[in-house]
Every structure is written in C-alpha cells, then in structure tokens.
Structure 1
Amino acid sequence: MLLRTFQPRSSLKVDAWDAFAATQEPEHVLGYVSQPAHAKLAGRLATELHPDIFGELPPEVVDAITRHDQGWAQTDLEALETAVVTRPISFLECDSRIAVSAWERSIRQAEKRSELAGSAVTLPLFRHVGTI
C-alpha cells in the first residue's frame, strides 16, 4: 500500500527514494494507492518515455513494469477492506514477513511470464531490503 499524503514541496535536491519514503509518514494521509495500481500507472508512464532519451522499451519490459507488484494484491485488498477499523499502512511499515511473502508472489508471477520479467521484478527489491 502506498499512502497518498500532502507534503510541502522542497527546493532541496534529495535522493528520490528518500523523498518518496518521507511521503509515507501517516500524519497527513489523503488516500491510498494499492501496489498493483501503482504498478499499472508506472507501466503507463513507461510507455510515454521518450525513446530518444531512454531507449526503446520492449513490450516485455513494459509488461514487467505494469505488473511488478501483483503479489501485493491480496494484502492491499485486505487492508482496504478493513480501513474503517484499522488504518492501512505503507509497505515500508509492513511486517517484513508479509512484505517478503508479497514480493515473492510478485516475483513468481513475473517468472511465469518470462525470465526477463522475473529479473525486472527481483532486482529493484534489493533497494528495499535495507528499509524493512
């Protein structure tokens, strides 16, 4: 689950990951974005990247981006279904056993599509390991 929060803009240059993580503080939650919905949006954005700058993205890569968080579907759905009783939390706050299980499901689903998709879903997770 991604938290949609209000954060004042800063003119300071910061690491993109650090800037994102700072938005996941629960004080000013405006809404929630499921991991699969975020992945779908990322895929749509990937199709709009200028090929002269980023190179041509093969359809298989765009598909991997579009579905990279499918393993979170059930976890996020359960969180949204109980949101009235229990505040949904960011995946950054999620218990590591739940997060690893969701990521493993994402990887397995991607590997069923192709080796490239499996790798594309696996590699970015190394960035997250230190944050769990």
Structure 2
Amino acid sequence: MIRYTLSCDNGHDFEGWFSSSDDFDRQVERKLVSCPSCNSTSVAKQLMAPSVATARKKEATRAVIMDQAQKETVAKIRELVKSVRENAEDVGERFPEEARKIHYGEAEERGLIGKATAEEAVALLEEGIAVAPLPILPDEVN
C-alpha cells in the first residue's frame, strides 16, 4: 500500500491509501477520491519524502492520547468488530474466491472474513463486491 498526502482545490490536506500509483490515478479519474472536508473530487498528490527502511530503523507506530469520547468510540468499534467476527465465517486466504462465489450466486449468502491483498480487495470492489478492512484498534498493537 502507498500512502499519499493529498490536497483538494479548496486547500484541504488529507491522506489516502492506494495499492499503487496507477490505482490512485484510476480512482481520481473516476472521481472516487474526494476531500473528507468538502467532498471536492479535484484532488492532487502533494510532494512527499520517501520512507526508507534501514536495519536500524525500528517499526514506528502512531500514538494517540484519547479523551473520554474517543475511548467510547473505540469501545463501540471494538464491539462492532467482535460482532462481525462472531457472525462471519473466517475463510482465510480463500476470501476473494468465496466473496466472488457469493456475489455471483454460486454459494449461499453469508458474512465472511478472511485475508486479501490490497490488489485483490481493489479487484473485488471494481467488480461491485462490497468489502472493507476490519480496523486494527489501539490495544491490538500495544
């Protein structure tokens, strides 16, 4: 995945994650990328310094200090993720294949969770198959 710093024609800056530079270009051309502040679809990449991994560089994580409202929101998201996991069949690496079978009526409709590469997820979305990543919550990386 590539993280781009983006800006809209109204001067708002934000981030976007894409499987490749071509994926970004295709999504912008199809007006699928919009500013979260004003919904403008006139979006451009900003100049970014490359992230170079070295043997000495430790894996960095983003840190956040949460107020009570944010803690409550994370708790609700955690409950949602737990419910999704409890009510879905974990098909592991077969996720893209099983999602297509359900979408095209070759298998019974049911909730699925599993693994997919960014490219596989993009391909599923382009086929009209609704997929979304499960969020990784703060306690899961500490």
TM-score category of the 2 structures, normalised to the smaller one: under 0.3
Query: Would you tell me which structure has more helix in proportion to its own residues?
Result: 1
Query: Would you tell me which structure has more strand in proportion to its own residues?
Result: 2
* TM-score in terms of structure 2 length: 0.24
* TM-score in terms of structure 1 length: 0.25
> Higher relative contact order by CA 8 Å / sep ≥ 6: 1 or 2?
1
